[in-house]
Amino acid sequence: QVQLQESGPGLVKPSQTLSLSCSVSGVSISSGTFFWNWIRQPAGKGLEWIGRIYTSGITSYNPSLKSRVTISLDTSKNQFSLKLNSVTAADTAVYYCARLSIAPRHKGGWFDPWGPGTLVTVSS
Amino acid sequence: QSALTQPASVSGSPGQSITISCTGTNNDIGTYNYVSWYQQHPGKVPKLLIYDVDNRPSGVSNRFSGSKSGSTASLTISGLQAEDEADYYCCSYTSTVPYLFGTGTKVTVL
């Protein structure tokens, strides 16, 4: 059974860098079959896709966040990470990591499973 | 790019069927058959219900079904049950973002 678990500071000061990790169990992130994603949800609001990384290290980011986001892999720990710099209160949200599956010869895909999420608050 | 458009709320009585719409553009739903739907109970993690427009993962009740017409995708819940009361989100692959979620729909079971 594949499981994901987010970890990282729950409080970040404005203008600093938000750093989160997602530990994956039950499958190797090097398997080459899946993409690994970050998604966030401000309290009481909808979901926003942040970005994804493939086993090759190729990344894709939401254009609205692209200038501030970096997603990376650590295959030795079977985890991937998110860095979001120059944060403001608008970045306060529950951050989820999720696996993206794509059917052969397709472009899109679906997010499953998801980690339990971690609340990150941006405040001084 | 703005979120896909969903009705803020939909309600129905137990046993009834309801349909949630998800409207996009030719940059997303209108071009690609990569629409997925998620159910989220309060304080819980989103759960995959439908993928690639009309495919249901194993373990998901067959009361949930998906479809698409033009730039609008739909999720139908038949035989509405109290446990279906939750928020529902659509998501589509797009030519720009590349993944865009809907605004979310709160389903109330009367």
Q: Find chain B residues with C-beta within 8 A of A115's C-beta.
A: 45
- Across residues B77-90, what is the average pLDDT? 98
Q: Return the H-helix or E-strand segment holding A103.
A: none
B1-48: per-residue pLDDT in tens? 689 999 999 999 999 999 999 999 999 999 999 999 999 999 999 999
Instruction: Provide the 3-class DSSP secondary structure of residue A52.
Output: strand
Any chain A CB within 8 A of the CB of B93? yes
Using alpha carbons, list the distances in angstroms from residue A105 to A2, A101, B36, B84: 23, 12, 17, 33
Beta carbons within 10 angstroms of residue A7's beta carbon: 14
Q: Who among B46, B89, B93 is closest to A108 (CB)?
A: B93
Q: How far apart are CA A27 and CA A112, in angstroms?
A: 13
Question: Which residue, among B107, B108, B106, B105, has the nearest Cα to B22 in the 3D structure?
Answer: B105
pLDDT tens digits for range A18-35: 999 999 999 999 887 799
Determine how β-strand A18-25 pairs with β-strand A79-84: antiparallel
Q: Is A3 helix (H, G, I), strand (E, B) or coil?
A: strand
pLDDT beyond 90 at A123: yes
Residue B92: enclosing H or E segment and its boundaries?
A: strand B86-93
CB contact under 8 A, A46 and B96: no
Of B48, B97, B98, Cβ closest to residue A110: B48
Q: Which residue of B has its CA nearest to A99?
A: B48
- Provide CB contacts within 8 A for B79, sequence distance 6+: B15, B17, B63
CA distance A46 to chain B (A): 6
To the nearest whole number, what is the mean pLDDT of chain B? 96
Q: Which of A6, A20, A36, A54 is nearest to A99 (CA)?
A: A36
CA B102 to chain centre: 8
B62-73 mean pLDDT: 98
Tell me which residue of A25, A34, A64, A26 sits closest to B97, measured CA to CA.
A64
